[in-house]
Structure 1
Amino acid sequence: MNCLLCNAPIPVRLTLRDLLMLCPVEQAPVCEQCRAGFAPIDPEHSCPGCGRPQRDSRLCNDCASWKKQYGWHLRHQALYRYNDAMKAYMQRYKFAGDYRLRQVFGAEFQRRVRQLHPDLVVPVPVTATTMATRGFNQVQGLLGDLATTPLLSHRAADKVAQSHKTRQQRLKTPQPFVLTDPAAVRDRRILLVDDIYTTGRTLYHAAVLLKAAHCRELVSLSLAR
């Protein structure tokens, strides 16, 4: 198998058990060199509100502002920093539409979802226009075959992509979502999932609707921060 990112051959390392038991060999989707370019986030040294890497576990200034605005803050985890390697990955997977690249982080992302033990997994949706042009929801791609409950939809068929906005424009974005089935949320532990946490505006918009529907607990997860 070749690396999905650089196309270099990935050597297969067989153990004695593999040879004796004839077990299927689980092979990494990317080579060690490409994998080394991504920077994992240590949950013990990150903001408990947004997952931002930092030395202590206090709320960062941004999350303190969100808490002042809403009276609560997200409990968010992210697996990796949004560094140059992650930016290049997202450019190919999300914006160029290389659906194969969901496999780079899919298994790891799905393990983290299972570790959080949600009642419902709610992915952040894409617009109908994005779905028509890209052909897939990048968040759903990362979640693979895990059961999800797509309870959020966009108010409008199209919108200006968050990636095309400045930070201040992102923060001023009006509520873009509708919760399609509020009754499904009541008294459930919800995991809200997105691909990238940037300012938090998108996730807070979604969280406001889920909390208004009286979910029992809300946590959120993204691949990058």
Structure 2
Amino acid sequence: MTPTAPRYPLILAAALLAGVSFWIGRTHVDEGIAWVAWKGACVALLALWAAMNARNGDGWLITVVMVFGALGDVLLERSQAIGGGAFLAGHLAAATLYLRHRRLARSGSQTMLAVVLAIGIPVIAFLLTRQPLVAVYALGLGAMAGSAWASSFPRYRVGLGAVMFAASDLLIFAKIGPLATSPLPGMLIWPLYFLGQSLVAWGAVTTILRWKDNDDLHHRL
């Protein structure tokens, strides 16, 4: 049986084009409504692509993850607290999806890394900022990254993408603290974030479609 290929590749291509062009052009455009819309469109297009390929609850759950990501991108420009809340909701939705599909056969090192991500990310976030609310947010971020790494989704797509998202956020926290005057966070935050989201969307959607094909075949036999 040939696995179902994701549909609407032009939407995915548009998302990638939006993300790359925003990275290149973000500093050359005034941060007005058009700039915010451009920023939000990047992950919103990933959400649209995931929705167009959704066939079951898992497909809609990864769509929800991307929707909250797009909302977070836009709302952060109005309020860090509200934008962070949208991202936190997305992390919790993602962790729910990943925990539903835990990888049963894991090596000790894989399990250890998942635990390190889950615990280490909020600890590092707090040490960088000394802000309890940041640490609370980072608990969700760590749960998302750790559960992604321990899930049955492809580790070098979904797992790596989740870790890149977490690294992007840690750079944001470092920009608040020890890297306040460094150009490094500004150079790396968006590419890590958007590439991470893209890897998560691609890996999750293609894997869920494959699982759906296998489930349909099982029920026909």
User: TM-score, normalised on structure 1?
Assistant: 0.29
More helix by share: 2
User: TM-score, normalised on structure 2?
Assistant: 0.29
More strand by share: 1
